[in-house]
Chain A
Amino acid sequence: MLAFLIRRISQSAVVLLVMSLLVFVGVFYIGNPIDILIAPDATPAEYARAVHELGLDKPLWEQYTIFLKGALHGDFGNSFVYNEPALKVILDRLPATLELAFTAMFIAVIFGIPLGMVAGMKANNWIGRNIMRFSILGFSLPTFWVGLMLIIIFSVQLNWLPSGGRGETVMLLGIPVSFLTLSGLAHLILPATNLALFKTSLAIRLTRAGVQENMQMDYVKFARAKGLSETRVIGLHVMKNIMIPVITVLGMEFGSLIAFAVVTETIFAWPGMGKLVIDSIGVLDRPIIVAYLLITVTMFIIINLVVDILYSILDPRVRLGQER
């Protein structure tokens, strides 16, 4: 287990290194941030000054080395547009995004898995079919479109919920959270629902597929033959077996929830890091882009690690490390 962890961590360090290099080269190819940031009537002298100030006149490899040296000390450089440490700017925004993503995942799980189980058990009945049909709606329409629709219906027409922004926050263990205040909760519902729609559909479908498959398995027949109650058969035995694909896919989706919260955050003016990174990509604010990606990759790596460990707990046949 320990060896496994150490190996994973050292591999991850390489991933992070490669990632940072890719972003440096990628952003370099997209363009020069000064072309976008500078006032259009600036003189060439002013242009040259700005390029020099931000260190963009140095060769790319030198810029990268400077970045690496700083990164080793936890300094990812100053944002080009905010002139504050990139890491700080992102960490300020991280809680809002995590809160949104967790809420969305929570919604997906509490609605998706039970509905999926119902759909799986009653596959040939109207309930099951309708659950499946409605679940298709969850991923057929683009997020941005659904988002604005939610706003038009629930904020403009019905005036039940606020149209955007984050609402009041309170500190919980030193982290600002909004789900503990009424205004915060009201602000959270629409964007979280918007973000959760796709994941809920996916959870329904995955659960249904798993339930259907496992219901045919011999162990279910035996369990039933043994006289176990239906609730116990499904709640315990079937659940345990369907959790693996559901956890893998939802685990991956949690990462993509964070990465793709971009659209939802833009539509709902949610002050998270998705909105930040889309703005930063728009102006090629490289320090922010790099730091953002390093943070998300780290989160991915941790999620995957947790998923792999969960496998080994849920399914004893899977061994960590998998070396043969």
Chain B
Amino acid sequence: MSEHTTEAVVQAPAVQDESLILEAVKEFFENRVAAVGLVIFIIMIGVALFAPYITPQNPYDLMSIDIMDGKLAPGSKSFDGSVTYWLGTDSQGRDMFSSILYGLRISLGVGVVSTIIALVIGAVIGLWAAFVGGKTDSVIMRIVDLQLSFPAILVALILLAILGKGVDKIILALILVQWAYYARAIRSNVIVERSKEYVEAAKCLALPQRRIMFSHVLPNCTPELIVISTVKVASAIALEATLSFLGLGMPITEPSLGLLISNGFKYLQSGYYWISFYPGVALLILIVSINLVGDRLRDVLNPRLKR
């Protein structure tokens, strides 16, 4: 492949040209399904952000819920006749529709924030390890090993015991659990990329190392990263659900989608299907839309697929 070195050097650096960004946006919308995914994703972010203005009930306010309204089927009215529960209620009498929108807010926030932070931390550490190599690399990779084998449950339990419960603690736990994963994935990508011709060429041009790392190597790793991170946003949300299932997640009076599903878990066989079914559907739509967008982004952003 050595005869193509020059071409590789020309196309590898990510160009921050406005026309190219526009082109990418245009290209993104060429795929209908991805466009629909994006629209759904934006709508979900919208309803999550404006949940307090849309929902008939604040499910986190203990004054406004009543166990006498517990486990009502979809379409039932509250016992004082004031509210109709279109998606039913959970065991505490929370309106499922309101709970889902509020829960969406928390799940999205927790999943996206923790994944982005973990991704950034992981990317920087992974790149650094791969480039510096030697002892630093070894130390970092052994810390990564350590972190990867530490069960998420134990991390969450220790944080719970020391710091208590809350959204911020969950995010912290998810970051702690995930960063090492990215670090290792990026490092292995970089090692492969580093020995490619365009990097050799950039070195010959005496470009500073940092520039080679961030503007030449990193963009070439982006497609992999996007694939992994869209999967991982989903798995972060699912992991939060699993922690909730094990009693380590969100405070029970402020359920996330995951906590709603795991609360409804015990009613799966008992006919109160709506307690976990509707949150499940919401989670499914959320994750499918994130992935449709992610898949398309990967195709659009991949410098090598663009010819």
Q: Do chains A and B touch in the complex (CB under 8 A)?
A: yes
Give the secondary structure class of B's interface. Answer: helix
- Chain B: interface residue total (CB-CB under 8 A): 66
Within 8 A of A (CB), among B235-272: 235, 238, 241-242, 245-246, 258, 261-262, 265, 268-269
Partner of B153, one of A216, A252, A262: A262
Within 8 A of B (CB), among A129-145: 129, 132-133, 136-137, 139-145
Flag if B261 contacts A324 (CB, 8 Å): no
Question: For B142, what are the chain A residues with a Cβ–Cβ distance below 8 Å?
Answer: 11-12, 14-15
Question: For A281, what are the chain B residues with a Cβ–Cβ distance below 8 Å?
Answer: 151, 153-154, 157
Q: Does B81 contact A (CB under 8 A)?
A: no
Within 8 A of B (CB), among A263-281: 263, 277-278, 281
Residue of B nearest to A202 (CB): B231
How far apart are the CA atoms of A136 and B289 in the complex, in Å? 10
How far apart are the CA atoms of A322 and B133 in the complex, in Å? 6
Q: Once A and B bind, how many residue pairs between them come within 8 Å at the CB atom?
A: 169
- Chain A: interface residue total (CB-CB under 8 A): 70
Given known contacts A142-B258, A201-B231, A289-B154, A297 and B145 CB-to-CB distance under 8 angstroms: yes
Flag if B153 contacts A322 (CB, 8 Å): no
Query: Could you mark each residue 210-237 of chain A with 1 if its beta carbon is under 8 Å from any beta carbon of chain B, else 0?
Result: 0011001111000000000000000000
Flag if B149 contacts A205 (CB, 8 Å): no
Question: For A22, what are the chain B residues with a Cβ–Cβ distance below 8 Å?
Answer: 146, 150
Q: Does B212 contact A (CB under 8 A)?
A: no
Query: Could you mark each residue 1-38 of chain B with 1 if its beta carbon is under 8 Å from any beta carbon of chain A, else 0?
Result: 10010000000000000000000000000000100000
Flag if B291 contacts A136 (CB, 8 Å): yes
Distance (whole angstroms) from the CB of B37 to the closest CB of chain A: 10
Residue of A nearest to B285 (CB): A140
Flag if A318 contacts B305 (CB, 8 Å): no
Flag if B185 contacts A249 (CB, 8 Å): yes
Chain B residues engaging chain A, CB cutoff 8 angstroms: 1, 4, 33, 133-134, 137-139, 141-143, 145-146, 148-154, 157-158, 161-162, 181, 184-185, 188-189, 191-192, 195-196, 223-224, 227-228, 231, 234-235, 238, 241-242, 245-246, 258, 261-262, 265, 268-269, 276, 280, 283-284, 287-288, 291-292, 295, 298-299, 302, 304-305, 307
In the A-B complex, the 10 residue pairs with the closest CB atoms: A140-B287, A317-B195, A30-B161, A142-B241, A300-B149, A26-B158, A297-B149, A248-B188, A15-B142, A296-B149
